[in-house]
């Protein structure tokens, strides 16, 4: 029976695929632990930064600072954080879909971090302004600061009116949420109007305007840096889940194929036996 | 010892320092300051310089390059972009950076470079004096 050999070959090929996905899962589990630790270590800085910014803005609501109002340009800029490598389930595609759904492709400049997202957005007709794909391999705070500088430059020159950041937030190992947040103009969520007495008397040296000038870029850098770290953790989490699924699918297929193979083998033996018995009968 | 306050120095990568201090000295864009407990609330921008943390009779030094400081009466938070303990500083590199920056300042060719060179010089100086 020819199909016996076919089934065996198929089963072997799936087995080697399973080995690969198993290994990839292990690798991304280790990477996930590392990147999760990093992402958590950067949280205190980011949270404090957020508190400070919101307390400054809450106190000075009628401040007329350039970073607080939309720029003259209609153009929007979006920093799209994805990965350089695939095989991570819907990780990259979710970001592309999110950006494509929320922002008009004709009026949006993409600052891509991660090749997969860059290629995906290019196909959807977005203009790629800059490509920092190397950054995602090993995110540094310096990278975030450089990107911020370039974006703020574009904002001050009036080339960009609004700046967005798209990344995948890391909730836990199995849940990652693609998010699109507005970086500039700086907007704080209203509603949580906590009155803190201490901030009410805050003085700024030299003055609020200049403090904002200096803090807003740092705030943006910290947001981007935090997003980069979270995105790396999410990527590894997504890959781990995807590879885990692939491994269990492979296992299932191997099981089904083994059953088929054994049936075929049994069938072949039975047939052979029948033939021998029939031949012996014919002779006697 | 007089009053102490809670001091927190945070960088994007980690919590650099967290503890109680009697006084903290650092440079801001408006000049060098030393802050004791019960200071009026204030936010200032950090300039490259030496950060001195007075813990009782001990003084711990670090090179602080950029960021900002938020002062509350009982709590001081320094949001540092770059800050290093003396044992993390490479003296040879800092020395080289200082020499290069000084040379660039002397040559004084393009105007854009001057600002960067000045900043680089300040950073190198901060590293060197924190190490001493």
Query: Which residue segments constitute the domains of chain A, with CATH numbers given?
Result: 42-237 (3.40.1380.10)
Degrees, nearest 5: CA angle A89-A176-A136: 75
Task: Output the pLDDT for position A60.
Answer: 63
Span B18-44, pLDDT tens digits: 999 989 999 888 889 999 888 888 888
- Of all residues in chain B, the one with the smallest CA distance to A56 is B43
- Cα separation, A2 vs A264, whole angstroms: 10
Span A150-204, pLDDT tens digits: 998 888 888 888 899 999 988 888 888 998 988 878 776 554 444 444 445 677 7
Chain B residue numbers touching A141 (CB-CB < 8 A): 11-13, 81
Beta bridge partners of B71: B42, B76
Chain B residue numbers touching A211 (CB-CB < 8 A): 43-45, 68
Residue to mutate among A214, A219, A227, A229, with most B CBs inside 10 A, is A214
What are the sequence ranges of the domains in chain B? 5-85, 89-131
Structure tokens that stand for A76 in this block: 């929007």
Task: Output the pLDDT for position A198.
Answer: 44
Task: Output the pLDDT for position A190.
Answer: 52
Contact A204 B42 (CB under 8 A): yes
Whether domain B5-85 has CATH 2.60.15.10: the reply is yes
Are residues A122 and A143 in contact, defined by beta-carbon separation less than 8 angstroms?
Answer: no
Task: Output the pLDDT for position A27.
Answer: 94
- Other beta carbons less than 10 A from residue A262's beta carbon: 12
Chain B residue numbers touching A49 (CB-CB < 8 A): 79
Share of chain A above pLDDT 90, in %: 45
35-74 in chain A: CB under 8 A from chain B: 38, 41-42, 44-46, 48-49, 52, 56
Span A69-109, pLDDT tens digits: 777 788 889 999 999 988 888 899 999 999 999 888 888 88
Domain at B89-131, CATH class: mainly alpha
pLDDT tops 60 at residue A115:
yes
Contact B42 A199 (CB under 8 A): no
Cα of A220 vs its chain's centroid, Å? 19
Q: Which residue has the higher pLDDT, A55 or A199?
A: A55
CB nearest to A48's CB, from B29, B30, B79: B79
Task: Sort A67 into a burial class: Cβ within 10 Å, 0-12 / 13-18 / 19+.
Answer: buried
What value does the mean pLDDT of chain A take? 86
Span B99-114, pLDDT tens digits: 888 887 777 665 666 7
Contact A211 B44 (CB under 8 A): yes
pTM over 0.80? The answer is yes
């Amino acid at each position: 029976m020819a199909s016996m050999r076919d089934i065996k070959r198929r089963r072997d090929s799936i087995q080697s695929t399973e080995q690969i996905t198993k290994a990839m899962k292990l690798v991304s589990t280790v990477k996930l632990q590392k990147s999760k630790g990093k992402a958590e270590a950067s949280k205190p800085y980011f949270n404090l930064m957020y508190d400070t910014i919101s307390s400054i803005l809450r106190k000075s609501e009628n401040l007329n600072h350039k970073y607080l109002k939309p720029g003259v340009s209609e153009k929007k800029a979006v920093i799209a954080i994805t990965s350089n490598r695939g095989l991570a389930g819907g990780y990259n595609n979710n970001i592309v879909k999110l950006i494509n759904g929320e922002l008009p492709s004709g009026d949006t400049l993409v600052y891509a971090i991660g090749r997969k997202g860059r290629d995906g957005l290019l196909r959807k007709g977005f203009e790629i302004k800059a490509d920092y794909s190397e950054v995602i391999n090993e995110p540094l705070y310096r990278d975030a600061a450089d990107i911020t500088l370039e974006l703020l430059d574009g904002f001050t020159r009036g080339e960009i009116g609004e700046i967005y950041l798209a990344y995948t937030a890391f909730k836990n190992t199995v849940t990652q949420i693609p998010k699109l947040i507005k970086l500039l103009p700086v907007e704080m969520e209203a509603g949580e109007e906590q009155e803190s007495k201490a901030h009410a008397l805050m003085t700024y040296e030299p003055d609020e305007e200049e403090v904002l000038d200096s803090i807003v870029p740092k705030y943006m850098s910290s947001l981007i840096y935090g997003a980069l770290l979270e995105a790396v953790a999410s990527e590894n989490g997504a890959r781990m889940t995807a590879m885990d699924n692939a491994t269990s699918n492979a296992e299932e297929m191997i099981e089904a194929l083994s059953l088929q193979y054994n049936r075929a083998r049994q069938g072949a033996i039975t047939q052979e036996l029948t033939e021998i018995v029939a031949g012996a009968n014919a002779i006697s | 010892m007089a009053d102490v306050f809670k001091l927190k120095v945070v960088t994007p990568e980690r919590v650099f320092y967290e503890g109680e201090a009697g006084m903290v000295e650092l440079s801001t864009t408006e000049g060098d300051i030393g802050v004791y407990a019960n200071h009026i609330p204030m936010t200032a921008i950090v300039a490259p310089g030496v950060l001195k943390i007075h813990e009782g009779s001990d003084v711990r030094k670090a090179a602080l390059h950029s960021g900002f400081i938020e002062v509350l009466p009982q709590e001081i938070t320094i949001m540092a972009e770059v800050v290093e303990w003396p044992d993390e500083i490479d003296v040879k590199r800092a020395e080289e950076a200082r020499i290069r920056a000084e040379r660039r300042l002397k040559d004084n060719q393009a105007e854009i470079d001057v600002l960067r060179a000045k900043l680089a010089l300040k950073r190198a100086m901060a590293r060197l004096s924190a190490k001493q």
